[in-house]
Structures are given as structure tokens and as C-alpha cells.
Amino acid sequence: MNKIVFPKDFLWGAATSAFQAEGAYNEDGKGLSLADIRSMNINPDEEPTKALANKGDKIADSTVASDHYHHWEEDLALMKECGLKSYRFSIAWTRIFPNGDDEEPNQKGVQFYENIIDRLNEYGIEPIITLYHFDFPAGLQKKYGGFSNRQAIVDFVRYASFLFKHFKGKVRYWLVNNEQNAMIRRDGYLGITETNPLKREQLRHRCNHYMYVACAKAITACHEIDPEAKIAPVMAYAPHFPLTSKPEDVLAARNANDLFFHYMIDVHCRGEYPGYYIKWLKDNDWCPEITEEDSAALKKGKPDFFAFNYYRSNAAEYCPEDVDPELVERLRVDARSRILPGLCRCLQNPLISEDERNKWRSDPIGFHIAFRNVYELCHLPLMICENGYGAPDTLEKEGLIHDSYRIEYLKNHILQMNEAIQEGIPVIGYHAWTFLDVISTSEGFRKRYGFVYVNRDDNGGDLKRYKKDSFYWYQKVIKTHGKSLMD
Ligand code: BG6
């Protein structure tokens, strides 16, 4: 019999990220980030306003996004009305240091976040802040190649330390980087333009390592500056299940889980790369230089809790060593079908039916399994930073949005989280992605996740906010402390 067991101080929350929500991409001194460049699809060497004018076609891009920069008071009032206990959002590095390494912080950028943090605290909503959500400063990318250069570690820790000092006592939870494991898969997120596959992969793994060192050093800085604050990285997690019970497929699923996800729990929480990961890098000639100082930094900067994002599970099967390299190259970016020759081939789970609306194979039980897997490896309190259902919504004439599909998805997942808590797994918070509609990283405003509808599409809109059915549903879940899930 299912019993609702959420702890008393459970953080019922929702999330957004800076470049997906804020807009005002160049206002009040903000510098350009790689996220802006990707979402606007512009040439980073051209002056942005000119580049946008030249581009001609209109897409839902980060110039406006959900215009949270100008609507933040209204948005926070809606959070209060919904009853949120926590709000997970990110700070844009380029609002604080427009070029990434400026001598002085940009006061207007600092003030923007200070206003939000103060208002959240006033409302009794815990601010949970990500330092880096896919939006590396374009200035540093141009200057020294971003995270492929050790200087990025120094600049990131300086940026993070500034925030720890400035918001000491006001922010109790920090998240270092969002989905490093998703970031390193995508060249545009790392600013990689190298076309030689070997050099490109070497570069990717160097960026990955430097990001781990930067994360560990930021964690250490946080502990030194504000010992009361808690800090963690955020992992993208899609557990992979064996396509069949053939030992080869079981091992393939294990390889996918370990090489895409589980190894990073080791790096963050034990401060060491596991042997299988180093072997994989060496076998492919991808291993970055790992100095003694790096190893010491990794050992020192351990998180206080562990955060992950979950949307769906996946499957994996055995893949021979001599698979066509062109196929490997073609599928390398899509997490749902990538191939590691000799190790695994990922694919969607054929035993889970496809949702007609968004073509997802949603798997709430996979969420339960995810809690077990992650906790078994880190033995730290867990926080969910993203879980949500992306689909187009219809704004009815009366300003209503009937998103029963989103409610169904969230309900089934929260109930599985409740199962994990019943088993004794310490889960401290849950953040639905997203509080208000934001630009999807892949489909602009064609795919929405929010409890609050933002009236804009690829051709613009008046940006008016409308509460969806899911807003009222989540409000009740929070108010009843999860009990309404059993209605
Ligand atoms: C997560 C990211 O991976 O997925 C978010 O942290 C993103 O930034 C979310 O928006 C959903 O993906 P998408 O492509 O539908 O926006």
C-alpha cells in the first residue's frame, strides 16, 4: 500500500535557467554567452545586434526568451501563489562578469539577482542557484578556447567565489554546473569547432576534466567562504536497461550507465576516475593530462549532496567492435542512439510505448531505479533539479490551458520518488522543469514544460502569463504535502 512519506521540510520546487528564461541578452551590461550564440544561431565574431538583423528569420531565441528579466516580480508572485518551497534557477556568468574575467563585477547584473534572491527569501522560497547552465562566456571562448584551457578553471572559481561571498547567508544551496555529462556531448556547448575526430575527442575529454577540477575547486571555495551553505553538481541521468537478458546486453547496459553517468559520481564524490573510465580513455587515446594538483583538488572538493535531472530511461544492447565508423559519427550526439564500438549501442526501450503527443517513452519506474542507483554510489542526500514533460500546449480562448498529460507525467514520477523515500533514500527536494515556459534547448517555444504559460511563439507574442491546470494541481500537491497525489 502506497503511503505518502515526504519529509516535513521537503523542498517542493520548480526550475528554470538564465538563458532559457531571462531574455534581455545584452541589457544592463550583460555579455554574450555560448548559449546566446547557439540559440540565436549567429556568428560570434559579428556584432550581435547586426548579426541578428542580418539573420532575418525569427525564432524563439534568448534575446527575449520568456522575458523573465522584465517580468521577475510577476513571476515570483506566481511562485508564491503556487506555494513553491524552493526555486532552482541559474545565474548568468555574463551578467556578473560580461567577458567572463572582468576586473570588476557588473553591478546591474549583481543587483538583478540580489533582487530575486531577497524577494524569494521574503516569500519563504529557498533560492537554489546553478552557477553554470550551458552559458559559458563567449568572451573567454574567443580569448583562450574556453574549458579546453586551464585558465577557465581559474576564471570560473573566481566568478563562483564572488557569488559565494556576495550572497553569503542569503543562499543556502548552490549547484555548480548543470549536466556536465550532457554538455560534453555537444560541441556547440563547449565551443568545439575541431573537425578531426581524434583531436576533437581529445579536446572534449580535456574540457571534461578541467570542468571537474573547476567544480571541485568551486566546492572547496564555497566550503571555505560560507561553511553553512551546501553545494553539489547536477548530473543528467537516463538509466539504461539491457535490451535482453543476454549477458552481452547486460554488460552493454552497464557500460552505458558507467561511462555516461556513474563514473561522474565517483569523480565528484570519491575524487577519482574509476579504472574502467581511464581504460576507455586510454584505449582511444583520449586521456587528458591529470596532474597531481588536479587529483588533490578532486579529492578535496566533495559535494554535500548530489543532484540529478531525470526525464526518461533508455535501453542498450551489445555492439561489435567493427561497427561502421560513419554510423558512430552520425549518432554520436543523440543520447538515445549513440554507439560505443565494442561496448554498447543505445536505443529507445521497445517495451515502453511511445507517447503520441511528444514521442517520448516516459518511464516513472526508471525514476525509482535512478534513485537506487545514484544513492548506492554516493550515499549523499539527493535533490532532483529537473523532471518534466515537454509538449506543445493550447491556450484556449478563456485563457485556460488543459495540460492533463503533464499532470499525469509529474504525478507518476513523484509517486515513484515517494517509493524511493519509503525505502530510506534521503531525498531533500524535487524541482519540476519548468516553473514557467522557457525556450527549449532544442525546439524554442514549440515545446513547453511550465506550470505557467508564456504567450509567445516563434513569431513573438505579448508574453502574458497564464496559469495552466498543472499550476493548480502542483499547488495542491504542495499544500497537502503530497497527500493529494492519492486522490
Ligand atoms: C535538460 C537541460 O537537459 O533538459 C535544460 O538542463 C533543458 O536546460 C531540458 O531545457 C529539456 O530539454 P529541451 O531540449 O526539451 O529543452
Classified as helix, coil or strand, 36 is helix
CA 386 / ligand 1 centre spacing (Å): 9
Catalytic residue, from 386, 398, 423, 443: name it: 386
Record the cell numbers describing residue 282, joined without a space: 586510454
| 47 has catalytic annotation | no
Ligand 1 within 6 A of 465 CB? Answer: no
| 46 has catalytic annotation | no
Residues forming a β-bridge with 295:
none
- Indicate which atom in ligand 1 lies nearest the CA of residue 440: 16
- Residue among 394, 384, 451 at smallest CA distance from 66: 451
Alpha-carbon gap, residue 122 to 120, rounded angstroms:
5
Cis peptide before 441 (omega within 30 of 0): no
Classified as helix, coil or strand, 354 is coil
CA 114 / ligand 1 centre spacing (Å): 25
In degrees rounded to 5, what are phi and psi of residue 429? -165, 160
Alpha-carbon gap, residue 347 to 363, rounded angstroms:
14
Contact (Cβ atoms closer than 8 angstroms) between residue 117 and residue 166? no
Q: Whose CA is nearest to atom 15 of ligand 1?
A: 440
Per-residue tens of pLDDT for the chain, all 487 residues: 579 999 999 999 999 999 999 999 999 999 999 998 888 776 666 655 555 555 544 456 888 999 999 999 999 999 999 999 999 999 999 999 999 999 999 999 999 999 999 999 999 999 999 999 999 999 999 999 999 999 999 999 999 999 999 999 999 999 999 999 999 998 988 999 999 999 999 999 999 999 999 999 999 999 999 999 999 999 999 999 999 999 999 999 999 999 999 999 999 999 999 999 999 999 999 999 999 999 999 999 999 999 999 999 999 999 999 999 999 988 888 888 999 999 999 999 999 999 999 999 999 999 999 999 999 999 999 999 999 999 999 999 899 999 999 999 999 999 999 999 999 999 999 999 999 999 988 788 889 999 999 999 877 899 999 999 999 999 999 999 999 999 8
Which amino acid, residue 156? F
Ligand 1 within 6 A of 236 CB? Answer: yes
Alpha-carbon gap, residue 405 to 420, rounded angstroms:
23
Ligand 1 within 6 A of 182 CB? Answer: yes
CA 227 / ligand 1 centre spacing (Å): 31
The verdict on pTM exceeding 0.75 is: yes
Region label for 169, one of left (φ > 0), alpha (ψ between -120 and 50) or beta (otherwise):
left
User: Which one-letter DSSP state was computed for residue 262?
Assistant: I
Ligand 1 within 6 A of 178 CB? Answer: yes
- Indicate which atom in ligand 1 lies nearest the CA of residue 434: 10
Domains of the chain: 11-240+291-310+358-486 (3.20.20.80), 241-290+314-348 (no CATH)
